[in-house]
Structure 1
Amino acid sequence: MKRLILALALIGLLIGGWFAWGWYGAANIDEETAFTVPDGATLTSVARSLEEQGLIASSDAFLLRAKILGSGDPVQRGEFALPAGASPATILDTLQHGQVIRRFVTIPEGLPSIMVYERLMAEPLLTGPIPIPEEGSVLPDTYDFERGEARTAVLARMQAAMRNYLAEAWSKRVPGIAVSSPEEAITLASIVEKETGVARERRMVAGLYSNRVKQGMPLQADPTIIYPITKGKPLGRRIRQSEIAAVNGYNTYTMSGLPNGPITNPGRESIAAVLNPAKTDALFMVADGTGGHEFAVTLAEHNENVRKWFAIRRARGELD
């Protein structure tokens, strides 16, 4: 009788060990593998998918062991990284409590909305269509997303980020600035963004254009000529005289004040510069040959700076 009891106990231990090994032992994953749990998935449907992809040997065995040895928490929606050699227990815990794989898309400062649209539409891991966003509505930054996420959701986060930042920045504006609304601030900031890529110049450029707005002078910003032609994409050639003379809602050579709207999506620093511009009397600027600009208060000073700039260009062979 004792032998029978011992034999049954040994058999029980063996069965228990086999049952536990099937849960805590290594599964069929040779290398780290991405696995996606779709929205609305159940543990049963996930187990079947794991078996179909060869990541576990049996969905039925997985479900039985999960019921007895696993957590009762639901599986999460998203894409997960299952590590090499992961046991069924590790797989379930990852799908229930692990971090989803985050992917990233970057919108650099000064990227116009047509190119934001193209960048999001070109991302193969996103789904669904989007409209071209309103110019100036997207805050340049790096945004994370999940595989299969709707483009509309990602774009909504970008636009919410702009609304939130602009509201915060507008509340901190200094008195006496040239713009009277957050919308005007974005429009002027978009010009500052396009006119200089030198961080230390932003407040000076903002101060110069603020002076022109206050005095009712044309801003004479070249990027505002280009925007109606390309929607903010690079022109790829010199601006023509006919384009300088064109009358439309954006060309600030043929109109005074701000254009009808933004000409790109400005970054935080350009927005901040418009809301706290440098205190300057400058009304003119021209490139200095190093990527920055020379600023001038009078037209005579500006003409001398222009002469120097043309001399630099002739020395480089850029002019006949």
Structure 2
Amino acid sequence: MWRNIASNALSLSIVALIVLGGVIGWGKREYVAEGPLETAICLKVETGSNFTRVSEALDAQGAISSPSIFRMGADYSGKATELKAGSFLVEEHASMEEIVDIVTRGGASTCGTEVVYRIGVNAAEYQVRELDPATQSFNLVAEFDPDVEAPADYTRVRGQPDTRYRVAIAEGATSWQIVDALNKVEFLSGEITEVPPEGMLAPDSYEMRPGDDRADLIARMRASQEERLAAAWEARDPDVPYESPEEALVMASIVEKETGVPEERGQVASVFVNRLEQGMRLQTDPTVIYGITRGQGVLGRGLRQSELRAETPYNTYVISGLPPTPIANPGMASIEAALNPDTTDYLFFVADGTGGHAFAQTLEEHNRNVARWREIEAERANQ
């Protein structure tokens, strides 16, 4: 009898182990399997939260199939104590394993509220934006000038720990404009007392944290521009007529200020390169304007004939070759265009009324393009 009892007990133990193994295997498969979420969501994890609360929130939003498997998976992977506070984008059909990785990885929040301080060529502004997780596009909540009182929408999100911050620099902004605007950023610290060399600040979008030092941001911009320029110089067309990367940067800044149409940059660069190679003057208005303003704001009017005739280091209607320094901070596309311009015979260009330019090889053809542009200007003035 005892032998039968022992045999039955052993059989039951084996069955139990098989069942347990099956359950564990099923749980593992559920943990790594595609999740039930039909539309991406923004998951907010509060400071001091835990995996129980997170699993309940995910279950309520239909993002996981089993809160208990979610928690056990976090325990088994050794991540149960690594939960990070913030707002995190959970993609549709994300597995429980992927979600655990998202909320324990750390770093900046990936969705929710974003404050962007935009520095353009004409002005700077704050933007408060909210990410729509379903479309992964931002909805503008508020925008305002740094010199006016901040609206309630900004004040509301300013103290939230999961609010993200960025400083976005537009291509073509001058170093003075960037420094002037950065010294007005409310969420940064320190003060920039010296304007960096023109052209040496990389236009880009920079992730920031409240209290970050302005000088550190300037250092990041300079390091990035130096890296970009060095890489482009190494990959340059060997026939470009520059003696140094600094000269290429001057040309890139002129290209940046002459066109906002991306596909035209190579053509515009080719015009100026062709002029340099033929000993012609560059004759470009943006350099003359920089000589007047020194990059400190916008001229706000047309150039006078006296200014076009004045002999200054930046008046390319009078001087030969390049001006002594860049006239703005060019983006990577303009740097690449300056160092690898299109191969053309163009020597002239003028606005064509579409936002782009009409290019010409001869002065006669250029004069016809200018005449057409004057007609367009006259028609617009009479509308």
Instruction: Give the alignment's TM-score, normalised by structure 2.
Output: 0.58
Partner in structure 1 of residue 255 of structure 2: 192
Whether 1:171 aligns to 2:179 is no
Query: Which residue, out of 334, 357, 374, partners 1:270?
Result: 334
Secondary structure at 1:143 match in 2: strand
Deviations 1:230-286 (CA, angstroms, capped at 9, x unpaired):
223321111111111121111101101000110000000000001110111111111
- Alignment correspondent of 1:208: 271
Secondary structure (helix, strand or coil) at the match of 1:250 reads coil
1:282 maps to 346
CA distance in 2, matches of 1:82, 1:286: 49
2:313 alignment partner, one of 239, 249, 259: 249
Task: Tell me the SS of whatever aligns to 2:247.
Answer: helix
1:136 counterpart SS class: coil
1:122 maps to which of 171, 174, 184: 184
Matches within 5 A, 1:13-162: 98-99=106-107, 102-130=164-192, 131-162=194-225
**Which residue of the partner structure matches residue 373 of structure 2?**
309
One-letter code aligned to 1:103: Y
Name the amino acid aligned to 1:246: A
Change (3 A) 1:277 1:122: same
Name the amino acid aligned to 1:99: G
Q: Residue 33 of structure 1: CA displacement?
A: 7.7
Task: Name structure 1 gaps, 5 residues minimum.
Answer: 1-30, 36-72, 74-79, 84-95
**Cα deviation, residue 117, structure 1:** 0.6
CA shift digits 1:185-233 (9 cap, x unpaired)? 1100000000001111000000000011111211001001100222233
Q: How many residues align?
A: 236
- Matched to 2:107, the amino acid is Q
Name the amino acid aligned to 1:185.
Answer: A
Which deviations, in whole Å up to 9, do the C-alpha atoms of 1:139-171 show, x marking residues without a partner? 100011221111110100011000011111111
- Aligned counterparts of 1:259 and 1:216: Cα–Cα separation in 2: 14
Aligned-pair Cα RMSD in Å: 2.6
SS in structure 1 at match of 2:254: helix
Partners of 2:47 and 2:198 in 1: how far apart?
36
1:98 shift after superposition: 4.7
| Greater Cα shift, 310-319 or 291-300 | 310-319
Unaligned runs of 5+ in 2: 1-43, 49-80, 89-103, 109-161
Label 1:33 to 1:181 Cα distance change in 2 as closer, same or farther (>3 A).
Answer: same
Task: Check the 8 A contact 1:225/1:252 in 2, yes or no.
Answer: yes
Residue matched to 2:323: 259
* Counterpart Cα distance in 2 of 1:239 and 1:133: 27
Contact 1:178 1:211 in 2 (8 A): no
Q: Secondary structure at the match of 2:168?
A: strand
User: Percent identity between the aligned chains?
Assistant: 49
8 Å contact from structure 1 (residues 136, 263) kept in 2: yes
Which secondary structure state, in structure 1, belongs to the residue aligned with residue 299 of structure 2?
coil
Structure 1 residue runs of 4 or more that deviate by more than 4 Å after TM superposition: 31-35, 80-83
CA contact (8 A) 1:34 1:82 kept: no
CA distance in 2, matches of 1:98, 1:296: 55
Q: State how far apart, in whole Å, the 2-side matches of 1:231 and 1:141 are.
A: 22
- C-alpha distance 165-318 of structure 1, shift in aligned 2 (>3 A): farther
8 Å CA contact 1:188, 1:258 repeated in 2: yes
Q: Residue 318 and residue 299 in structure 1: after superposition, are their counterparts in 2 closer, same or farther (change >3 A)?
A: farther
Amino acid at match of 2:256: E
CA distance 1:264–1:304, change in 2 (3 Å): same
| Aligned counterparts of 1:247 and 1:82: Cα–Cα separation in 2 | 57
